[in-house]
Amino acid sequence: MLLAGLMFAFMDAGMKWIATSYSPFQVATLRSLAAMPPVLLWILLRGKAGTLLHVHWPLHLLRGVLGVGVMAGFVYGVARMPLSTAYAIVFVSPLMVTALAVPLLGEKVGPRRWAAIVVGLLGVLVVLRPGAAGVITGPGLVLVLAALCYAIAAITVRKLAQRDSPEAMVFWFLVLLTLFAGAIAVFHWQPVQRGHLWIIMMIGITGAVGQIALTHAFRLGEASQIAPLEYAGLVWVVMLDLAIWQVLPDGMTWLGAVIIVASGLYLIRREDLAAAAVRPPGASV
């Protein structure tokens, strides 16, 4: 999971690097196209090509549409604010997943977990600081919408994981993201600059390695132990912001990030305790 977070941080830094030269939809298209070759190699090496056609198409199509919202919204946001600030905002997505699991999956969420969700959302307001001098809230709100799309997409993944292979989910997400984002990007497509080719290749490789590492992390470890490590991504992007763009989050952004991360960690802990309460004695997770 730590490797996955590091790879995704480099991928996001690469997208931020080229985001001022292309539309968010073109960046999303280039990202998915660049990730396709290493993902296909991974699928072939695992001998899972035969699982790619046995899928639940409606949920895949919905996830593809949501993926466009996630990628385009994130690229739009990181082009206009530090990576670390963007990460602090989108870290609210696990809280949204828990809230949406009630109406969409019929899961029960107790008052303590609802309190954690509310506190996390307040943390987002601390980061955004609506109306504060010098704070651009427009991109921040787009990032909140991207986080919401991510949360809904995560719900579809929970459904898909019950019937489709991980390889099929990764492959069709990239294919549909390419088709849907590309269909929008074609109207404002800019020729790819030669100097950006290595960055696009890096985006594809790090995105593919990150996805593979993420898949193996949840396959080999317990979700309640692995998921908190995702927040280490904030450390990676702070270092990248400092090394590449010479910026650091301000005090209010740090405060909001601490509130959001603390709420997420508490929520993960509460969900683990809730699962343990209904787990039969001696049963594995």
Could you tell me which residue, 221 or 92, shows the higher pLDDT? 92
Q: What does the alpha-carbon distance between residue 74 and residue 90 come to, in Å, rounded to a whole number?
A: 9
Place of tokens 């492959």: 171
Whether residue 31 is contained in a domain is answered as yes
Q: How far is CA 2 from CA 9, 42, 97, 213, 247, in A?
A: 11, 20, 21, 9, 23
Query: Which alpha helices (DSSP H) does 106-232 contain, by range?
Result: 111-128, 137-160, 166-185, 197-220, 223-226
- The whole-number pLDDT of residue 284 equals 34
pLDDT digits (tens, 9 = 90+) for 164-217: 988 999 999 999 999 999 999 999 999 999 999 999 999 999 999 998 888 788
Whether residue 218 is contained in a domain is answered as yes
The answer to whether residue 225 scores a pLDDT higher than 50 is yes
* Buried-state track 149-185, b at ≥16 Cβ within 10 A, e below 16: bbbbbbbbeeebeeebbbbbbbbbbbbbbbebbbebb
Q: What does the alpha-carbon distance between residue 111 and residue 47 come to, in Å, rounded to a whole number?
A: 45
pLDDT digits (tens, 9 = 90+) for 234-273: 999 999 999 999 998 889 999 999 999 999 999 888 777 6
Whether residue 109 is contained in a domain is answered as yes
| Cβ contacts of 123-126, under 8 Å, gap ≥ 24 | 123/92, 123/256, 123/257, 123/258, 123/259, 123/260, 123/263, 124/89, 124/92, 124/256, 124/260, 125/256, 126/252, 126/255, 126/256, 126/259
Whether residue 256 is contained in a domain is answered as yes
209: tokens are: 């390695």
Q: Per-residue confidence at 43, pLDDT binned at 50, 70, 90?
A: very high
- The whole-number pLDDT of residue 11 equals 96
The answer to whether residue 19 scores a pLDDT higher than 80 is yes
Whether residue 229 is contained in a domain is answered as yes
pLDDT digits (tens, 9 = 90+) for 74-132: 999 999 999 999 999 999 998 999 899 899 888 888 899 999 999 999 999 899 887 65
- The whole-number pLDDT of residue 274 equals 64
Q: Per-residue confidence at 276, pLDDT binned at 50, 70, 90?
A: low
Q: What does the alpha-carbon distance between residue 46 and residue 56 come to, in Å, rounded to a whole number?
A: 21
Q: What does the alpha-carbon distance between residue 18 and residue 2 come to, in Å, rounded to a whole number?
A: 25
The answer to whether residue 26 scores a pLDDT higher than 90 is yes
Q: What does the alpha-carbon distance between residue 254 and residue 4 come to, in Å, rounded to a whole number?
A: 23
- The whole-number pLDDT of residue 132 equals 53
Q: What does the alpha-carbon distance between residue 193 and residue 28 come to, in Å, rounded to a whole number?
A: 16
Count Cβ atoms below 10 Å from residue 222 Cβ, excluding itself.
12
Whether residue 62 is contained in a domain is answered as yes
Number of domains in the chain: 1
Q: 3-class DSSP state for residue 42?
A: helix
Whether residue 284 is contained in a domain is answered as no
- The whole-number pLDDT of residue 264 equals 92
Which residues, in sequence order, are CB contacts of 68 under 8 Å at separation 6+?
25, 28, 177, 180, 181, 184
Q: 3-class DSSP state for residue 215?
A: helix
Whether residue 178 is contained in a domain is answered as yes
Q: What does the alpha-carbon distance between residue 264 and residue 267 come to, in Å, rounded to a whole number?
A: 5
- The whole-number pLDDT of residue 282 equals 38
Structural domain of 161: 2-276
